[in-house]
Every structure is written in structure tokens, then in C-alpha cells.
Amino acid sequence: MSGLWRSTRTGAIAAILGLLGAAAGAMPARASGLEGGPSPGAVSAVDVETPPGAASAVDVEPSRGAATPQRSPVTAETAETPRASNAEAPRADSSAVAPAEPRTLRSRGPRGDRSAEVWDFAFAFESGDRLLLRFAVTNIGPGNRNAAAVWHWVDADGGAVAYDNGQRAKGWRLEEDARRIRIKSSVLDLRRPTLRLSMGKKRAKIELRVVLPAEPLHEATQDGDQVALWATHAPAEGTYWTRGMEAPREVRGTGSLVYSWLVDERREQRRVELLSFDSNLDLYAIAILRESGLQDTWAIHRLPDGERVLTRDVALCPGNDGDYIWPARLQVASTANLEARVEAPFLRSDPVAALPGPVATLVRLVYKPMRLWSSAAIEAEGRASPVQGAVRTSFGNPLSRSAREALGRDPRCRDGGRS
């Protein structure tokens, strides 16, 4: 739940949240980490086990204002070092090799009043079905370490069903040295070599096994906030069952994983992410509109020869007017220019709805997030036809007037981008 905590709200609301949280016993002393997690003072988004004498693959938390890294690390998928931050840069040294051991994944946990840790997945199965899934631990609202798992099963014909599990701090658990998150019947198991997901309700159950690369495809940091793209088309297989089925059916496909650790959720006004569901066009693009009015953009595009190119030339054209503006078109300048034409959202969800009732009610006094999913047709130079993808647009609050005005100023949106 990226977002903006309205600065125009009075201190009275904050006081109410504090009093109610304290009265319910929901505001324990702020912990330096989650149970069984990293030692106090740990700063990486995910902990790393580094062989003796080897350089660490994870940057320590940068000083405020540190620049976003310009090079993606070597991955198990490519065993090559991607190009630098623009498509014209010379090819990097390809003599590097993939690390012998995959990076250890472990929950870091939120560590501030409005901090959050989020795992975002999107799976495309051979059957044409989609699974859109999110695990989040957040300090937004009364109390700390509220946790929620939210998933949407989207049938091949477009029908969508939503499920969720949400708990306050004492209602969910970290297990296996902070490498497994259990929120009631929703489990995210980060242990290597195969990540496992299990989501269950009375009327549906999903079990998935996902093979991630040894290292993230790219990591970006800005003022302490961290975003790690772990996969765009990681192999995934498992079973899906819903009420009315005689037995679970097997599913197989690929999925993406984006990990985010946010110092303060209110600093993100809007996040737009472009995902390709076709492994023949390996692409991920992101644009984060910050509280300051600046927009951070970058994209990773995998070339036919297996090399990944990192570019920051991403343009977004608004698709509607109003408080929650989604993009109608995204343009990514790479070695092969790419353009995504985005349809109106087919799915809208409220991330707060998964939190326990009293918490959700109080959070909505000052925080009105929204998440939109839209289908996208992605065109690339040299391709005869577009490939299928999706755009995930997340808001923390309705956009301010200045933010709405800024979104329409890109000169590349010659026709305004509106569909």
C-alpha cells in the first residue's frame, strides 16, 4: 500500500488513532525488527549470506538522496551483466559469473510509524487464468505490524474473485528465522531453492511453487525506500481449487515478483507498473510519483540475445481525469522502442479492506488507497503483433491538484494519451 498520508489532517485524528490503539493494547514498543528476523540495526531489504571473501550483492541502506543504482546485478537467468542505464551505453564486461549460492530471502519488517514491507506477485498461467497477489506488513494505522494477504483469481474469460486474510500483530506469525510469513491460512515461504505460496479460504485454495533467480534483476533505492525486481517470468506450478470442483486442478505458468520496503508510505502518491505476460517479451517498467512532485522511472528490457537493458526513459500519458488517474499509454525508450496501450481498469481494490475491521475503519479517516489493474497491449519494434500485459496502478490517496496537473505535461503525450 504505497501512499500519501494527508498532511492537511489535524493532529486530533492522530491522537484518536493513538488513544484507540493503546486502549486495545495494539501499540507495543517499536521493535527494531520482526520476531526471529534480522538482528537490530540490519538495513538491507533482504538479508544476504555472503561466502567468505566475496563481495556482498546487496548495498547497505544508502544515505538520504542516494542515487538509484545504474546497473542490474548478474542474474541466474542470464549469467551476464546488463548494460548500463541507457541503451546506447557500451556493453559491460561479460566475464562475470552468477553467484554460486542464491541470496537468502528474509523478512525485514517495517521500522517506522508509516513504514511497510510488501511482496507483489502476478502470475499468468497456460490456461489463460491470472493470479494477482500481495503480502504486506505495515505500520499504517493503530498499532504496529498489521499484516494482510490479498489475492484475486482472474479467469481466462475475465471474471475475477477476491480473497484476503488480515491480522493485527498478535494474529500472524514469522517462522523459520523470518523466512516464512503466516497470516492465518495464507503462507509466503521464502526459503530456497523454491519459494512456496499457499492461500486458503473455505471456498478456494491455491498452492504454488516458484523458482526465483539467484539475485534480483534490478534494485533501486531513493531516500531509503527500496524496490527490488526479483523476477519477470519465474517458472511457477501448483494447484487451484474452488468450491464446485471435484478436485484441485493443476496450473502452470510464470510469475513476477516485486519487493518493496518503504520508510514512509505517504511519500508515494502513485506507483505505475507495466508487466508483460508473454515470456517472448521480457519487460518491466515502473514510475513512482513522489510527495515532492518528482517522478522516478526505470525499466528493464531483455533483448533476444539474453542481455538485459536498463533505461530510465519512460513516459506515461494520462487516461482519465479525476482523483485516481491511470495511464492510457506508456512509452519505454530502449534498443527497441516499446509502447503499451492501456485499457480502462478491469479490477479495482481497496488495500485497506483486508486489514482487521477496527483498524481499517480508523485508517480510512486519513488514508484512502486504491489499486487498479488494467489490461495492456505492448508493441515493440520488429514485432508483427502486440503481446499481452497488464498495468498495476497503486495510489495512497486521491491525487492532489498539483499532481494531476503535473501528470499531463509530458510533451511525448502529443494527443494527451486519452483513450
* Structure confidence by residue, pLDDT tens digits, 170-225: 889 999 999 999 999 999 999 998 999 999 999 999 999 999 999 999 999 988 89
3-state secondary structure of 133: strand
Question: Between 129 and 396, whose confidence is greater?
Answer: 129
Distances (CA, A) of 114 to 142, 294, 324, 364, 392: 10, 20, 22, 14, 22
Burial of 120 (0-12, 13-18, 19+ CB in 10 A): buried
Tell me what pLDDT residue 56 has.
33
Q: Global pTM?
A: 0.76
Confidence of residue 69 (pLDDT cuts 50, 70, 90): very low
Q: What is the pLDDT of residues 241-256, one digit of tens each?
A: 999 999 999 999 999 9
Averaged pLDDT, 340-362: 88
pLDDT band, very low/low/confident/very high, at 267 (cuts 50, 70, 90) = confident
pLDDT for residue 190: 96
In the predicted structure, residue 333 carries a pLDDT above the cut 80: yes
Q: What was the pLDDT predicted at 410?
A: 73
Give the burial string for 126-157 (b: 16+ CB within 10 Å, else e): eeebbbbbbbbbbbbbbbbbbbbbbbbbbeee
Rounded to whole angstroms, the Cα distance separating 308 from 78 reads 8
pLDDT at 359: 80
Is residue 362 within 8 A of residue 17, CB to CB? The reply is: yes
Beta strands in 157-282 (DSSP E): 160-167, 173-175, 180-183, 186-189, 195-201, 204-210, 218-222, 225-242, 249-262, 268-276
Domains of the chain: 11-30+69-407 (2.40.370.10)
Alpha helices in 322-366 (DSSP H): 357-363
Using the CB atoms, write b or e for 53-77: b if 16+ within 10 Å: eeeebbeebbeeeeebbeebbbbeb
CA 257, CA 55: separation in Å to the nearest integer? Answer: 25
Give the mean pLDDT of the chain: 77
Q: What does DSSP assign to residue 57?
A: S
What is the chain's percent helix, strand, coil content, to nearest 5?
Answer: 10, 40, 50
- Structure confidence by residue, pLDDT tens digits, 120-139: 999 999 999 999 999 999 88
The cell for 312 is: 530510465
Q: Quick check: 394 and 4 in contact, CB under 8 A?
A: no
Of the candidate ranges 139-143, 204-208, 285-289, the one whose mean pLDDT is the lowest: 139-143
Q: Which of 165, 226, 129 is nearest to 354 (CA)?
A: 165
- pLDDT, position 132: 98
What are the beta bridge partners of residue 395? 270, 370
Confidence category of residue 414, pLDDT binned at 50, 70, 90: low
**Which of 237, 172, 164 has the alpha carbon at shortest distance from 204?**
164
What is the band of 396 on the pLDDT scale with cuts at 50, 70, 90? Answer: confident
pLDDT band at 353 (very low <50, low <70, confident <90, very high): confident
> At residue 107, does pLDDT exceed 60?
yes
Q: Which residue has the higher pLDDT, 154 or 72?
A: 154
Residue 102 CB contacts under 8 Å (≥ 6 apart), including other chains: 76, 192, 193, 212, 213, 214, 215
Largest Cα–Cα distance of the chain, in whole Å?
62
- The β-bridge relationship of strands 225-242 and 180-183 is unpaired
Whether residue 293 has pLDDT greater than 90:
no
The per-residue pLDDT for range 70-106, each reduced to its tens digit, is 333 333 333 333 333 333 332 333 333 444 578 889 9
What's the DSSP call for residue 266?
A: G
Residue 256 CB neighbours (<10 A): 24
